[in-house]
Amino acid sequence: MFYVQRDAQGVLSRVEAAAFAESTETLPADHHEIQAWYANEVVETSLAQLKQSDLEMIRVLDDLIQVLTRKGVISVTDLPPAAQAKLMDRNHAREALGGLSHLIDDEETGLI
pLDDT tens for the 112 residues of the chain, in order: 999 999 999 988 888 899 999 999 999 999 999 998 888 887 788 888 888 899 889 889 988 998 999 999 999 999 999 999 998 998 888 888 875 555 555 555 555 5
- Dihedral sign, CA of 92, 97, 103, 108? negative
Residue 42 lies in a domain: yes
Cα-based angle 40, 41, 46 (whole degrees, multiple of 5): 100
Dihedral angle at the C-alpha atoms of 62, 63, 67, 70, nearest 10 degrees? 60
Domain range for 11 is: 1-51
pLDDT of res. 100: 53
DSSP string, 14-80: EEESS--TT--EEE-TTSHHHHHHHHHHHHHHHHHHHHHHHHHHHHHHHHHHHHHHHTTSS-GGGS-
pLDDT of res. 38: 85
Residue 35 lies in a domain: yes
Residue 108 lies in a domain: no
Per DSSP, what are the bridge partners of residue 5?
Answer: 14
| Count of domains for the chain | 1
Amino acid residing at 79: L
